[in-house]
Chain A
Amino acid sequence: MRLFFQYMSILFKAQMQYRASFLMLCIGQFFVPFAVFAGMYFLFERFGGLPGWTFHEAALCYGVVHMAFSVAECFARGFDSFSRLVVRGDFDRLLVRPRGTVVQVLGSNMEFTRFGRMLQSAVVLGIAISGLSIQWTPAKAITLFLMIAGGVIVFCGICILRASFCFWTVQGLEVMNIFTDGGREMAQYPLDIYAKWVTRFFTFIIPFGAVSYLPLLYILDRTDGPDLMYMAMPLASLLFLAPCLLVWCIGVRHYRSTGS
């Protein structure tokens, strides 16, 4: 863990060397998802609402998912750009060091310009929370935090899975974008508006539903059943992470250097 923070501070210092470019990219990252949010807002304005959802409730969902996505993109960037390490044969160097591969790949690259994106998600979360009359309790605040943390874990899991495939294919698999970008676009709306098969797939296979939709019901006091179950739902993301890490370990054992 300490190693991870050391990596973090070094990479941060390195990226801060190009301050103007860093700031510009941050601002850009702030506005890119803004268009998507504006689209969502205008649709709500035009149609009045979604079946069972108001704008601010949906915005809460959007804020959580985008926040999780941007945190994951910032810190799991190493897995995102992992195919480059494999193609160049640089992964060999990681293997000879007496530390775990996961932490080293995490430390190989981080994208701090995603701060802009996080800020945008935070603004949306603020809008959503101020527009809703929720009776906040410590339990609900913890649930909100767990939702974001769970979302980060799910996105990281997908990134690790995608990186693991590089061990077999060398090139990155673009199809996995469906689950990162597509998953984000899908989960920014409450899950129950989609067809059954989509909802099931993204609840039981890739647990976006467990980190956003189900605990959201608890925050909005719409549960039927034990509250604790809804609160603890984001922990299901750990169940998703485990097989992803397993595939990673199998992949590492399969690794044959491409060298050059």
Chain B
Amino acid sequence: MNAPLALLKMRFLTGLQYRAAAAAGVLTQFFFGLILIMVYLAFYKYGGAAQPMTLEEVVAYIWLQQIFFTLVMLWYSDFELFELITGGGIAYELCRPWRLYTVWYAKLLAARLSACALRCLPIAGVVLFLPEPYRLAPPASPDALLLFIAALLLGLLLVIAISMFVYLSVFWTMSPVGSILLIAVAGEFFAGMVIPVPLMPGWMQQAANLLPFRWTVDFPFRVYTGHIGAQEAIAGIGAQLVWLAVLVAAGQWLMKRALRRVVVQGG
């Protein structure tokens, strides 16, 4: 088995050990989901006529966001990678005969997958059977479900490619704070983590469409509810692939630049 795959498996199994943290996560996501839905219920009661998304679609959007939270959130940080760079451990990584980008990518992917594996089923199991209006509706159609799974997985690959830039920037700044924090916050907003993209004002939706972030959260969840039809979804998956190719290539190029002049810290 080649190195990145073996690492992926190992990390995944390690991640599965953190069950207490996962239990806490499940409760937290569940609580946040309920609170958010109540807020939207109140908003829809006041001015719900003729909105770009129906209440059921928003409810489904919120629950999917909670269920797959660890997959889609931009800021799921792996402090080990930061320490590798700021602590000098990077020297060992460079000695090993592998491509650093692929290996880090596999590590980040495994951490997210294992966290999600522990969390998604308990939340999904409950929210599919809640009383109305809190219930998560099943997907719009079997096609929508298949497209949703494809879009979600591509979104996951995309979000890791984006978050890789945060790790890479540490090569230059030595601390993952400040300006990066700002980019992360803006990214989450444009991804639709705070409010769904269709509920934003027009000019902001246009900005969101130009950026890669919305393909990670907003797009897959709206495919699930059928808010984005099959035709458009297939085109969207194409866009995801293009973004993924661009961002991975840019990340690899940047990493090469970073490693050319890497300073091994510490001792």
Contact A48 B47 (CB under 8 A): yes
**Interface presence of A1 (CB below 8 A):** no
List the B residue with the shortest CB-CB distance to A194.
B38
Contact B32 A51 (CB under 8 A): no
By a CB distance below 8 angstroms, the chain B residues around A47 are 43-44, 46-48, 51
What's the interface size class on B, roughly? 35 or more
Contact B199 A46 (CB under 8 A): yes
Complex Cα–Cα for A24 and B176 (A): 11
Partner of A43, one of B178, B185, B199: B199
List the A residue with the shortest CB-CB distance to B199.
A46
List the A residue with the shortest CB-CB distance to B181.
A28
Known pairs A47-B44, A50-B42; A186 contacts B35 (CB<8 A): yes
By a CB distance below 8 angstroms, the chain A residues around B31 are 178, 182
Known pairs A32-B181, A178-B28; A198 contacts B199 (CB<8 A): no
Contact A50 B188 (CB under 8 A): no
Contact B28 A175 (CB under 8 A): yes
List the B residue with the shortest CB-CB distance to A32.
B185
Partner of B194, one of A27, A39, A189, A195: A39
Complex Cα–Cα for A174 and B22 (A): 10
Partner of B178, one of A25, A42, A173: A25
**Interface presence of B182 (CB below 8 A):** yes
By a CB distance below 8 angstroms, the chain A residues around B23 are 175
**Interface presence of B201 (CB below 8 A):** yes
Name the interface residues of A170-205: CB closer than 8 Å to any CB of B. 171, 173-175, 177-178, 181-182, 185-186, 189, 193-195, 198
**Interface presence of B126 (CB below 8 A):** no
Q: Can you list, as one digit per residue, whether each of A44-58 has a CB less than 8 Å from chain B (1) or not (0)?
A: 011111110000000
- Measured CB to CB, the closest approach of chain A to B185, in angstroms, equals 5
Complex Cα–Cα for A42 and B189 (A): 12
Complex Cα–Cα for A177 and B27 (A): 10
Partner of A193, one of B28, B38, B179, B204: B38
Partner of A38, one of B39, B43, B189: B189
Complex Cα–Cα for A46 and B47 (A): 8
**Interface presence of B200 (CB below 8 A):** yes
**Interface presence of A142 (CB below 8 A):** no
Name the interface residues of B183-202: CB closer than 8 Å to any CB of A. 185-186, 188-189, 194-195, 199-201
Q: Can you list, as one digit per residue, whether each of A118-143 has a CB less than 8 Å from chain B (1) or not (0)?
A: 00000000000000000000000000
Contact A182 B51 (CB under 8 A): no
List the A residue with the shortest CB-CB distance to B41.
A193
**Interface presence of B249 (CB below 8 A):** no
**Interface presence of A14 (CB below 8 A):** no
Partner of A28, one of B24, B39, B178: B178
By a CB distance below 8 angstroms, the chain B residues around A39 are 189, 194-195
Partner of A198, one of B38, B43, B195: B38
Q: Can you list, as one digit per residue, whether each of A72-98 has a CB less than 8 Å from chain B (1) or not (0)?
A: 000000000000000000000000000
Contact B194 A46 (CB under 8 A): no
Q: Using A45-B201, A182-B32 as known contacts, list a sample of 10 further A-B pairs with CB atoms less than 8 Å apart, ordered by residue number in A.
A: A27-B178, A31-B185, A36-B194, A46-B199, A51-B42, A175-B24, A181-B28, A185-B32, A185-B35, A193-B39
What 10 pairs between A and B have smallest CB-CB spacing? A24-B178, A174-B24, A193-B42, A39-B194, A28-B181, A47-B47, A48-B47, A47-B43, A39-B195, A35-B189
